[in-house]
Chains A and B, each alone.
Chain A
Amino acid sequence: MEHYNMNLTLKVWRQPNKNSEGRFETFDVKDISSEMSFLEMFDVLNERLISEGNDPIAFDHDCREGICGACSMHINGRPHGPWHATTTCQLHMRAFKDGDTIVVEPWRANGFPVIKDLVTDRTSFDRIIQAGGYISVNTGNAVDGNALPIEKDKADASFAAAACIGCGACVAACKNASASLFVSAKVAHLALLPQGEPERKNRVLSMIAQMDNEGFGSCTFTGACEAVCPKEISVTNISRMHKDYLWAGLSTEK
Chain B
Amino acid sequence: MLNGKIPEGPLEKKWEDYKGHVKLVNPANKRKIEIIVIGTGLAGASAAAALGELGYQVKVFCFQDSPRRAHSIAAQGGINAAKNYQNDGDSVFRLFYDTIKGGDYRARESNVHRLSEVSGNIIDQCVAQGVPFAREYGGLLSNRSFGGTQVQRTFYAAGQTGQQLLIGAYQALERQVALGNVKQYTRHEMLEIVMIDGKARGIIARDLVSGELERHFGHAVLLCSGGYGNVFYLSTNAMGSNTTAIWKAHRKGALFGNPCFTQIHPTCIPVSGDHQSKLTLMSESLRNDGRIWVPKKQGDTRRPSEIPEEERDYYLERRYPAFGNLVPRDVASRAAKERCDAGYGVGSSRQAVYLDYAAAIQRYGKIEASKRNLANADADTITLLGKEVVKEKYGNLFDMYEKITGENPYEIPMRIYPAVHYTMGGLWVDYELMTTIPGLYALGECNFSDHGANRLGASALMQGLADGYFVIPYTIGNYLADDIRTVSIPTTHAAFEEAEKSVRERIEKLMSIKGNQSVESLHKRLGKIMWDKCGMARNAQGLKEAIVEIQQLKKEFWSDVKIPGGINEFNPELDKANRVADFIELGELMCKDALHREESCGGHFREEYQTEEGEALRQDDKFMYVAAWEMKGEHEWQLHKEDLNYEVVKPTQRSYK
Chain A residues with CB under 8 A of B69: 62-63, 68-70, 166
Q: Is B127's CB under 8 angstroms from A134's CB?
A: no
Residues of A182-206 contacting chain B, CB below 8 A? 189-190, 193, 195-196
Interface string of B519-542 (1 = CB under 8 A from A): 011000000000000000000000
Q: Is A139's CB under 8 angstroms from B125's CB?
A: yes
CB nearest neighbor in A for B281: A65
Q: Which stretch from A97-105, A140-148, A216-224, A246-254 is at the chain B interface?
A: A140-148
Shortest B572–chain A CB gap in Å is: 6
A47 within 8 A of B: yes
- Which one of B160, B172, B174, B240 contacts A67 once the chains associate, using CB atoms below 8 Å? B160
- Which one of A47, A68, A115, A126 contacts B209 once the chains associate, using CB atoms below 8 Å? A115
Residues of B87-118 contacting chain A, CB below 8 A? none
Interface size classification for chain A? 35 or more
Q: Please judge, given known A-B contacts A134-B175, A152-B135, A195-B128, whether A123 and B65 are in contact too, CB under 8 Å.
A: yes
Chain A residues with CB under 8 A of B135: 149-150, 152, 155-156
- Which one of A37, A123, A195 contacts B127 once the chains associate, using CB atoms below 8 Å? A195
Question: A141 vs B407: C-alpha distance in the bound complex, in angstroms?
Answer: 47
Shortest A241–chain B CB gap in Å is: 16
Q: Is A190's CB under 8 angstroms from B130's CB?
A: yes
A176 within 8 A of B: no
Chain A residues with CB under 8 A of B67: 126
Interface string of A57-85 (1 = CB under 8 A from B): 01011111111111000000000000101
Q: Please judge, given known A-B contacts A1-B405, A135-B129, A152-B139, whether A35 and B273 are in contact too, CB under 8 Å.
A: yes
Chain A residues with CB under 8 A of B123: 145
Interface string of A135-169 (1 = CB under 8 A from B): 11111111111101111100110110011011000
Q: Is B130's CB under 8 angstroms from A193's CB?
A: yes
CB nearest neighbor in A for B67: A126
A178 within 8 A of B: no
Chain A residues with CB under 8 A of B521: 47
A108 within 8 A of B: no
B278 within 8 A of A: yes
Interface string of B175-191 (1 = CB under 8 A from A): 10110000010100000
- Which one of A35, A65, A162 contacts B272 once the chains associate, using CB atoms below 8 Å? A35
Shortest B120–chain A CB gap in Å is: 8
Question: A119 vs B390: C-alpha distance in the bound complex, in angstroms?
Answer: 37
Chain A residues with CB under 8 A of B65: 60, 70, 121-123
Chain A residues with CB under 8 A of B50: 139
Q: Please judge, given known A-B contacts A50-B562, A195-B128, A196-B130, whether A90 and B85 are in contact too, CB under 8 Å.
A: no
Shortest B531–chain A CB gap in Å is: 18
What are 29 contact pairs spanning A and B, CB under 8 A? A35-B275, A36-B275, A43-B520, A44-B275, A50-B518, A55-B565, A62-B69, A62-B71, A67-B73, A69-B68, A69-B73, A91-B403, A94-B406, A122-B66, A126-B67, A130-B177, A134-B175, A135-B129, A135-B171, A137-B128, A138-B53, A139-B49, A139-B53, A139-B473, A146-B140, A149-B139, A159-B158, A162-B132, A166-B68
Beyond contacts A130-B174, A139-B469: 10 other A-B pairs, Cβ-Cβ < 8 A, are A33-B273, A40-B275, A51-B562, A56-B564, A63-B71, A139-B46, A142-B128, A149-B135, A158-B130, A162-B132
Could you tell me which B residues sit within 8 Å of A by CB distance?
46, 49-50, 53, 64-69, 71, 73-74, 83, 85, 120-121, 123-130, 132-141, 157-158, 160, 163-164, 167, 170-172, 174-175, 177-178, 184, 186, 209, 238-240, 272-273, 275-278, 280-281, 399-400, 403-407, 469-470, 473, 518, 520-521, 562, 564-565, 569-570, 572-573
